[in-house]
Every structure is written in C-alpha cells, then in structure tokens.
Amino acid sequence: MTATDWDMPSGAVQRLAEEVPVALSFDGVTQAVMMASPADLEDFALGFALSEGLIADASEITRQELEVTEAGIEARNWLAAPAGARFAERRRATMGPVGCGLCGIEQLEEARRKLPPVAPPRFTMTPEQATEALETLRDHQPLQDETRAAHASSFWQPGKGIVLTREDVGRHNALDKLIGALIRGGIDPASGALVMTSRLSVDLIQKVVTLRIPVIVGPSAPTVLAVSEARDAGLTVIARAGRGLALYTAPQEATA
C-alpha cells in the first residue's frame, strides 16, 4: 500500500503517501537505510546497486528477498563472488533522510566521483518532444494524483513516448526504481531519455551517467555543478530556462 486515508480536523479525508524505512542490504550488510514508498523495492535495490557502482550488471545480484517488520522493510540482496568481494572492501552502513543523494560518503572527494563517458544519443529529441514528454509524464503519476506528494522518473523513447515510470516520495528513490525497472525489463538505457519531475542536482546526474543514459529532461533549472559534471561526461541536459526549456549541455562538449 502506497497511500492511506487520513482523517483531517475539518472532517475531510485526505489520501497521504506512505513513507517507510527501507534497508538496502547486500550479503547481510546494510549499505543504506532510505525513507521510501513501499513499492517496486526489487527495482529499487537493483537500481541503487547499479547507480552507486556496487555492481556492474544485474547478473551480479544472485538473489533478492523482502522482509517486512514492524520497524520497516529490509530489501536483502546476495551478490556473486566478484561483486561481493568488491562490496566487502567499500561497505559502510548509512542512514539518510528522504531523497538523500550522497548518503554515506566518507571523504569530500567522494562527492565528485569519476564518471564514465556517455556516448552521443542515437536519436534526436526535439524541443517539442522534450516539452511533450514533461507534459505527458503527468499522465503516468497515479501516486502523485492521489496524494500530491510523490516524485516520478520516466523513460522516453523516440516513436513511443514514455514507456516506463516509477514513483516515490524521494526523487533519488524514483530514479533508482526506474533504473532497476529498465534493466529488469531488458530496456537499453542508451535507447532513450530520462524525464524527471524534480530539479536536476549533481547526485542525480551521477546516477544517470553511471547507467550511460544519454539525455535527461527536467522541469526546473539544474545546478552549476550538475551541468558541469554532465558536460564533462557527455550527457545532454534539457531543462527549464525562463518560461520554456533550453539545452544546457550537448554531446560534443564532452571532455571525459
């Protein structure tokens, strides 16, 4: 259940989004505890592991299970031997609030992790298509329609429009859930663009670049650090500028 009725002092009933602690554990060790919507948690765990560099591909998670307790939900994941060995070297337990994007880093330098280069898009996304994608995204947000308290991440493909969406009370969680769903669904991340409801901060850019998604579209202006990281990696950023959308970075600017 991702939403619950709440009795208001006025006598009205309001639908509120559920928010629960979700522990993401790997080989019996908790890597992060995130406040999240209790849905699509297998996608969440896989997407988190991929976007944070804990695994190189989905095959390195050999088993997943969910354990529901009074305190929250534990999403347990077991790693193949090489990934398990790498994880053991960098493991750390973290606790973060909703949408924590850089939870658990131990040194300032870790906030600017080295990113892989992103190949130029194999498709064209026109300004009209980017605008339409953001507008169409509203039709794929049932939790937001119900509660007005959820973020969404969607994947857009040329000729198809939005093909997949995940929602969560946390914007980073929504992105990780989408990443996991893409990989579990056998959809090539390089075949389309990411469309988000939230501002484009550097931690989101890092996750997107790690998956080599070539284009990201957002409804508000990005930060300086976000566009700098995106430019260096070759990620195309389309986001709000004034009353419309603008191209903040282009593939040919890549320096990585």
Cα–Cα dist 77/75, whole Å:
7
Specify the pLDDT at position 89: 83
Residue 59's CB is within 10 A of a number of other CB atoms, namely: 9
Q: Is the pTM of this model over 0.85?
A: yes
pLDDT, position 90: 77
- Catalytically active residues are 100
| pLDDT for 70 | 95
Stretches where the chain sits below pLDDT 50 are 92-99, 104-105, 108, 256
Q: What is the pairing mode between strands 236-241 and 193-196?
A: unpaired
Q: Which among 149, 209, 220 is positioned nearest to 179, based on CA atoms?
A: 209
Identity of the amino acid at 191: S
Q: Could you tell me if residue 186 is left (phi over 0), alpha (psi between -120 and 50 degrees) or otherwise beta?
A: left
36, 20 contact by CB (below 8 A):
yes
What is the per-residue pLDDT for 108?
A: 47
Cβ burial 105-114 (10 Å sphere, 16+ → b, else e): eeeeeeeeee
